[in-house]
């Protein structure tokens, strides 16, 4: 039974006057649909009529067609609405320009986030808030669930010096917030001061995992195939900074990992000795169809989450990396730049948001010690976060 009424559904119920008075822009993609799979753009076009003047797309494009990092999408014209679609993912344009925003008075944002700092939709939203404040436009966020729940948080807090397109603001890797909450957080904590309105969900509870909402899952990006993918992602995304395959080009991206040099049985045994909570490991082999180790047989593991509430994705993948670095030191490596338009700093440092994490792994520091080192800043984040929670 469905528990949650989405922001886009509430917009239709509320039918605010500005829908018919203001020129509207929409930041959306293929996952911006209501529970009956009706696209947000069709709903808003019905509500606003000719006032819908422009569409904007995040990373991966408005159809979710662009597969990997730094694969850009072009501006185009919507074939049905006959309005421009502006891409906000390219080396030149990741923030709406004055020319783009001149067409609208109000930007509606309806994107499905996955609860992880490095997922770029929140960054795009933050940059839109900045542009809206500069050019005096209103922003309305139509809220959606955090699919890995909005209760649990985990990981070190991003260092300001390592801000990037995959780290807009000092957050932990698993931040435990919805897009509406993040918008309020960014708008105040970064002193943006945009004219911001949130249309919250009804029936949403912070402890909800995505299956608890009763809503259908539409992959918000090409490799975020299921809610189970999203649950592993706050840890497994770290593998993007290594020469390990994170399962891109397989049916289980981010749920499996491997490389040609790994002994699956040995790795499983080493990890089982750690007694990591909420998960177990299944030996697997796969041949990626694209990305790292394309066309080569890889050996590794699939993470099986047995208790989502106990599972610690960030800690778990740090343990995986540390065990592989120890067992195969000559084969394992960090990937060099570029990564998400950063051309100098190591991708792993951009992803973790703190060089201390990489250096700690290299030095073989006990993970409990590493985790204890970031607990103070995590508690500081939680104290600030409380004032922005909507549910």
The answer on 311 and 197 residing in a single domain is no
| Separation between Cα atoms, residue 153 and residue 176, nearest integer Å | 5
The answer on 288 and 143 residing in a single domain is no
Percent pLDDT > 90 in the chain is: 95
pTM above 0.85, yes or no: yes
Owning domain of residue 147: 7-221
The answer on 40 and 93 residing in a single domain is yes
| pLDDT for residue 53 | 98
| pLDDT for residue 131 | 98
| Separation between Cα atoms, residue 241 and residue 93, nearest integer Å | 24
| pLDDT for residue 125 | 98
Confidence class for position 141, pLDDT limits 50, 70, 90: very high
The answer on 256 and 203 residing in a single domain is no
Reported as a single tens digit per residue, the pLDDT across 354-389 is: 999 999 999 999 999 999 999 999 999 999 999 999
The answer on 267 and 189 residing in a single domain is no
348 phi, psi to nearest 5 deg: -65, -35
The answer on 260 and 194 residing in a single domain is no
Reported as a single tens digit per residue, the pLDDT across 286-338 is: 999 999 999 999 999 999 999 999 999 999 999 999 999 999 999 999 999 99
The answer on 323 and 196 residing in a single domain is no
| pLDDT for residue 2 | 80
| Tally of domains in the chain | 2
Q: Are 371 and 315 in contact (CB under 8 A)?
A: yes
CA 238 to chain centre: 13
| pLDDT for residue 19 | 93
At 187, which CATH number?
A: 3.40.50.12170
Reported as a single tens digit per residue, the pLDDT across 59-82 is: 999 998 877 777 888 899 999 999
Q: Are 230 and 242 in contact (CB under 8 A)?
A: no
Whether residue 375 is contained in a domain is answered as: no
Among 196, 221, 246, the domain-final residue is 221
| pLDDT for residue 72 | 85
Confidence class for position 190, pLDDT limits 50, 70, 90: very high
The answer on 76 and 215 residing in a single domain is yes
| pLDDT for residue 91 | 81
At 282, which CATH number?
A: 3.90.1150.140
The answer on 180 and 48 residing in a single domain is yes
Tokens of 277: 């909570």
The answer on 183 and 98 residing in a single domain is yes
- Segment 205-209 shows an average pLDDT of 97
Reported as a single tens digit per residue, the pLDDT across 27-38 is: 999 999 999 999
The answer on 25 and 100 residing in a single domain is yes
């Amino acid at each position: 039974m469905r528990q949650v009424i989405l922001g886009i559904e509430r917009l239709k119920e509320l039918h605010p006057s500005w829908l018919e008075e203001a020129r509207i822009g929409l930041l959306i993609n293929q996952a911006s649909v209501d529970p009956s799979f009706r696209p947000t753009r069709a709903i808003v076009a019905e509500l606003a009529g000719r006032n819908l003047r422009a569409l904007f797309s995040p990373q991966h494009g408005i159809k979710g067609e662009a597969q990997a990092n730094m694969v850009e999408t072009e501006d185009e014209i919507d074939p049905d609405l006959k309005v421009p679609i502006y891409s906000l993912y390219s080396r030149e344009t990741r923030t709406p320009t004055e020319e783009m925003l001149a067409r609208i008075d109000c930007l509606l944002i309806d994107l499905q986030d996955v609860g992880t700092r490095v997922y770029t939709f929140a960054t795009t939203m933050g940059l839109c808030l900045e542009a809206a404040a500069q050019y005096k436009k209103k922003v309305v966020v139509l809220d959606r669930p955090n699919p890995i729940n909005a209760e649990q948080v985990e990981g070190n807090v991003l260092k300001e010096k390592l801000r990037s397109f995959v780290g807009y603001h000092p957050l932990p890797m698993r931040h435990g917030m919805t897009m509406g909450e993040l918008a309020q957080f960014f708008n105040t904590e970064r002193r943006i001061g945009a004219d911001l309105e949130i249309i919250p969900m009804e029936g949403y509870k912070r402890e909800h995992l995505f299956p608890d909402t009763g809503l259908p899952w539409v992959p918000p990006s090409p490799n975020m195939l299921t809610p189970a993918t999203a649950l592993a992602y706050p840890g497994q995304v770290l593998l993007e900074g290594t020469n390990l395959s994170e399962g891109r080009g397989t049916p289980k991206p981010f749920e499996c990992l491997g490389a040609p040099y790994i002994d699956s049985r040995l790795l499983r045994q080493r990890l089982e000795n750690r007694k990591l909570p909420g998960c177990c490991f299944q030996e697997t082999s796969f041949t990626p169809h694209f990305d790292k180790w394309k066309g080569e047989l890889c050996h590794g593991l699939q993470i099986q989450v047995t208790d989502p509430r106990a599972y610690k994705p960030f800690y778990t993948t740090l343990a995986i990396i540390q065990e592989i670095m120890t067992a195969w030191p000559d084969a394992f490596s960090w990937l060099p730049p570029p990564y998400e338009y950063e051309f100098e700093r190591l991708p792993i440092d951009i992803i973790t948001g703190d060089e201390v994490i990489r250096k700690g792994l290299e030095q073989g520091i006990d993970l409990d010690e590493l985790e204890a080192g970031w607990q103070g800043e995590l508690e500081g984040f939680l104290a600030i976060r409380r004032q922005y929670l909507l549910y």
